[in-house]
Structure 1
């Protein structure tokens, strides 16, 4: 629980870092050309270079890896159902914005041309919609009530 952290790390992790993450995401989403061009210093030029494009792709890959690590940390360490539900709600919101941004970038015609999707488009739309629908069904209770923790299930058997 963040309130138990010492003052300085609590400020950094609960105020400074969230603000910097929002600022970075806003810049990348609403001004992608500028964001890409700023990744590698190009002596005042605001034209994305091949190196900048590669760096942005690698940073995206790092974000996917971070999401993997957060999933492991949340889903395999907490016993608090509220933490898991809030994590799934955050992912649900991210699923919707991910698909929305992909639709926006591809345009309607390419977004609905499922037969022409490549593996990346299947990941960006198909798999993300599947995950979002599964999260929606879980959060609405369609899979029934949550069971006891795995350790308790083993004791009960």
Structure 2
């Protein structure tokens, strides 16, 4: 990979995050019903509509697209400004993802980590980890880009 990222963010953004996105794609494709029902921890599962199933499948496809774009951009460019802008856009997306999850789950469910299922862990725990890693990168806490990278504007 030709990534200009320092080692830790390179691993997180070109290996871990794409793997998690592909995993979400696979789960949404294999079992959209489970994917939808696990979004909110409830005691019983209700049948889902064709509309909900279509949305889950489309979201799964969006996850796959995100993984491919992330690998292509972060591994294929030597321009620091492109990498920084890309990760800033995802940083904003992390905020939106957390806010939407919080609005649906409410503080009681968000704050009760012991009751999280795998979907909640992904929607909150993984998103917060990625947000913090992106924040540290954007603040320059991982050090400079690899040599030969274009200067940040």
- TM-score of the aligned structures, taking structure 1 as reference length: 0.62
* Local SS of the residue matching 1:102: helix
Residue 112 of structure 1 aligns with which residue?
Answer: 111
1:99-123 alpha-carbon deviations (Å, 9 max, x no partner): 1100000011011110000111111
Q: Which residue of 1 aligns with 2:51?
A: 52
Flag structure 1 segments of 5+ consecutive residues without an equivalent: 1-48, 151-157
Aligned mates of 1:95, 1:109 — CA distance in 2 = 21
Aligned length: 102
Map of 1:138 onto structure 2: 137
Q: Which runs of 5+ in 2 are unaligned?
A: 1-47
Provide the alpha-carbon RMSD of the alignment. 1.4
Larger Rg: 1
Q: Find the counterpart in structure 2 of residue 90 from structure 1.
A: 89
2:66 maps to 67
Equivalents in 2 of 1:143, 1:88: separation in Å? Answer: 14
Which is richer in helix? 1
Aligned twin of 2:6:
none
Which structure has more relative contact order (CA 8 Å, sep 6+)? It is 2
Q: Are the structure 2 counterparts of residues 149 and 121 from structure 1 closer, same or farther at C-alpha, using a change threshold of 3 Å? A: farther
